């Protein structure tokens, strides 16, 4: 199924294929790494992410990844916790938005699906606040 790029906006929820391309890392034969490899603590595999770029028509866009909630995630001001009570339309389990893992990606290579064209204004404000902590813009 092809992606309808007209549905991509700032604050869209998307499915992104993170990780380095296997061909770049000389591991063509190893089928263990379906989507690519991570280096260090980088994200790999498919994750949901939220688009932060103003210019969504650019080849490269900026996203922040979502990952499974881990006990203690709320201690970090750069994390935004998504609870299923308030955001069941978006996630099935408690989830953390890792704004300190901001990434620039090639949208045509990395975005595999637009899950929701927009997220709530409340969640947008929470992400913006966490981003201010990343760059000490209080």
Q: Is residue 21 part of a domain?
A: no
Q: Beta strands 79-82 and 60-68: pairing type? A: unpaired
Q: What is the pLDDT of residue 134?
A: 85
Q: Is residue 24 part of a domain?
A: no
Q: Is residue 11 part of a domain?
A: yes
Q: What is the pLDDT of residue 124?
A: 96
Q: Is residue 27 part of a domain?
A: no
CATH number, position 101: 2.30.30.110
Q: Is residue 35 part of a domain?
A: no
Task: Output the pTM of the full model.
Answer: 0.83
Domain that holds residue 76: 5-16+48-134
Q: Is residue 33 part of a domain?
A: no
Q: Is residue 29 part of a domain?
A: no
Q: Enumerate residues 6+ apart whose C-beta is below 8 A from 79.
A: 73, 96, 97, 98, 99, 100, 130
Closest C-alpha among 67, 13, 73 to residue 43: 67
Q: What is the pLDDT of residue 17?
A: 84
Separation of alpha carbons 99 and 84, rounded Å: 19
Q: How many residues does the chain have?
A: 138
Spell out the per-residue pLDDT of the chain, length 138, in tens.
Answer: 688 888 999 999 999 887 765 555 555 555 555 555 555 555 557 789 999 999 999 999 999 999 999 999 999 999 999 999 999 889 999 999 999 999 898 999 889 999 999 999 999 999 999 999 888 876
18-22: long-range contacts, CB 8 A cutoff, minimum separation 24: 18/42, 18/43, 18/44, 18/45, 18/46, 18/47, 18/65, 18/103, 18/105, 18/110, 19/43, 19/44, 19/45, 20/44
Total number of domains constituting the chain? 1
Q: Is residue 57 part of a domain?
A: yes
């Amino acid at each position: 199924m092809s992606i309808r790029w007209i549905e991509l906006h700032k604050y869209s929820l998307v499915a992104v294929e993170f990780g380095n391309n296997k061909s770049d890392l000389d591991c063509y034969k190893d089928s263990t790494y379906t989507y690519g490899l991570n280096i260090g603590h980088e994200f790999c595999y498919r994750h949901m992410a939220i688009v932060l770029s103003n210019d969504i028509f650019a080849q490269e866009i900026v996203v922040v990844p979502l990952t499974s909630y881990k006990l203690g995630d709320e201690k970090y001001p750069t994390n935004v916790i998504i609870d299923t009570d308030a955001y069941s339309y978006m996630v099935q389990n408690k989830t953390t938005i890792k704004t300190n893992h901001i990434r620039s990606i090639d949208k045509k290579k990395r975005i595999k699906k637009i899950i929701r064209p927009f997220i709530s204004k409340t969640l947008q404000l929470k992400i913006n606040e966490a981003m201010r902590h990343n760059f000490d813009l209080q």
